[in-house]
Amino acid sequence: MKAVVLKAPGVLEVEEVPEPQPGPDEIKVKIAYCGLCGTDPESVAGHFPPFTGPSILGHESSGTIVELGSNVAGYQVGQKVACNFRSYCGGCYYCRNKMEHYCENAIHASGGMAEYAVYNQTAVYALPDNVSLEMGALLEPVSVAVHGIDKANIHPGGSVAIFGAGPIGLLMLQLAIRSGAAKTLVSELVADKRKLAKELGADVTVDPLKEDVMEAGNQLTSSRGFDTVIEATSNLECARQAISMAAKCGTVLWAAVYRGGVEIAIQPFQIMVNEISIHANFVSPYTFPRALELLPKLQLKPLVTDIIPLKDIKKAFELHEGGKPVKILIQP
């Protein structure tokens, strides 16, 4: 089969590799779509996670079941599914203490940017009839957004500011509104993304290169600041500025991936006197079932801006680096 193989840091190729075969507890899936995540360029560069050897990229996948392991029950060949990129043991300290995303025995799937992939049956989710395979490929990012909203302390009538209108920012915008946010602001460099944020319900959108984000926030919140500020750009200045935009007793959520070793300057006094809570979110513990229920309810189709054939993976990465697409799907 053909697959996108990261051979070494900076070396990405489409190659013929052996088809993975399912073990007793595994399911083999013919991949329909695999999302290109903002972490994928970091993986290619060898930053996140650190490069440990050649591997097939891709962790946001949907497809059709083609083979079941001997112990698998409750699934059928031909069924539409979306998949988690790893499965958890359920028995280690972290799994037993509500932290499965830190599982000591987590098993990674074989990689979704390929014609076929194999998943543990616990990582496979049957898609409802009213969710397409294209939209199903967004199950993993929706699960990440759900985990972020769990930590964002959003309440009915509250205010929310979001830095970045990429997939996670726009998903969190929709979920924040559904959670009761009455005033929402989105800061985004790309005009088309700002337009989409407006269409998805943002009250105010700001171009941070041409407008004063703090001033726009003050106008929307009567200078009180936002109850919740979500940073979804990976920009360190935005991570710092998010603290300044939070209201008294507000919550800041760093919802992006930041490169290891980088630092920002913060003022502990500012955080202390305003009782600001700072959280971050990492992947998506226990949120896939809820994310699955949300797939038919969210506006996902506008987020998919490009579908690129697997053979043109380098073009997809170049497109992503340009910053204009929202979500790129890779199609084997």
pLDDT tens-digit readout, 172-181: 999 999 999 9
Q: What is the rounded average pLDDT of the residues 24-47?
A: 95
Sign of CA dihedral 84, 86, 90, 95: negative
Q: Are residues 151 and 133 in the same domain?
A: no
How many angstroms separate the CA atoms of 170 and 195, rounded? 11
Token pair belonging to 68: 């079941």
Cβ 225 vs Cβ 202: under 8 Å: no
**Hey, what's the torsion of the CAs at 247, 250, 253, 259, to 10 degrees?**
60
Asked whether residue 285 is assigned to any structural domain, the reply reads: no
Banded model confidence at residue 35, pLDDT cuts 50, 70, 90: very high
Token pair belonging to 262: 């980088």
Asked whether residue 79 is assigned to any structural domain, the reply reads: yes
**Hey, what's the torsion of the CAs at 73, 78, 83, 88, to 10 degrees?**
20
pLDDT at position 231 over 90? yes
| Structure confidence at residue 49 (pLDDT) | 85
Alpha helices in 28-166 (DSSP H): 39-45, 133-136, 139-151
Q: Are residues 317 and 211 in the same domain?
A: no
pLDDT in tens, 55-69: 999 999 999 999 999
Q: Are residues 15 and 59 in the same domain?
A: yes
pLDDT at position 150 over 90? yes
| Structure confidence at residue 260 (pLDDT) | 87
- Residue 51, classed as helix, strand or coil, is coil
Asked whether residue 101 is assigned to any structural domain, the reply reads: yes
Q: Are residues 62 and 186 in the same domain?
A: no
3-state secondary structure string across 161-206: EEECCCHHHHHHHHHHHHCCCCEEEEECCCHHHHHHHHHCCCCEEE
Q: Are residues 320 and 212 in the same domain?
A: no
Q: Are residues 153 and 132 in the same domain?
A: no
- For residue 154, the tally of other CB atoms under 10 A from its CB is 23
Q: Are residues 181 and 237 in the same domain?
A: yes
pLDDT in tens, 265-282: 999 999 999 999 999 999
Q: Are residues 270 and 171 in the same domain?
A: yes
Banded model confidence at residue 50, pLDDT cuts 50, 70, 90: confident
Percent of the chain, pLDDT > 70? 100
Nearest by Cα to 4 from 112, 85, 141, 107: 112
Instruction: Please report, for residues 48, 73, 100, 119, 253, the alpha-carbon distance to residue 53 in angstroms, rounded to integers and kept in the order given.
Output: 13, 33, 25, 20, 32
Nearest by Cα to 134 from 32, 40, 64, 57: 32
Asked whether residue 291 is assigned to any structural domain, the reply reads: no
Q: What is the rounded average pLDDT of the residues 199-213?
A: 98
pLDDT at position 296 over 90? yes
**DSSP letter, residue 121:** G
Give residue 304's domain range: 2-138+300-331
Q: Are residues 189 and 312 in the same domain?
A: no
pLDDT at position 19 over 90? yes
| Structure confidence at residue 47 (pLDDT) | 86
How many angstroms separate the CA atoms of 185 and 40, rounded? 28
User: Does the N-terminal peptide bond of residue 49 adopt cis geometry, omega within 30 degrees of 0?
Assistant: yes
Average pLDDT, the chain: 97
**DSSP letter, residue 65:** E
Asked whether residue 15 is assigned to any structural domain, the reply reads: yes
Q: Are residues 178 and 247 in the same domain?
A: yes
Banded model confidence at residue 1, pLDDT cuts 50, 70, 90: very high
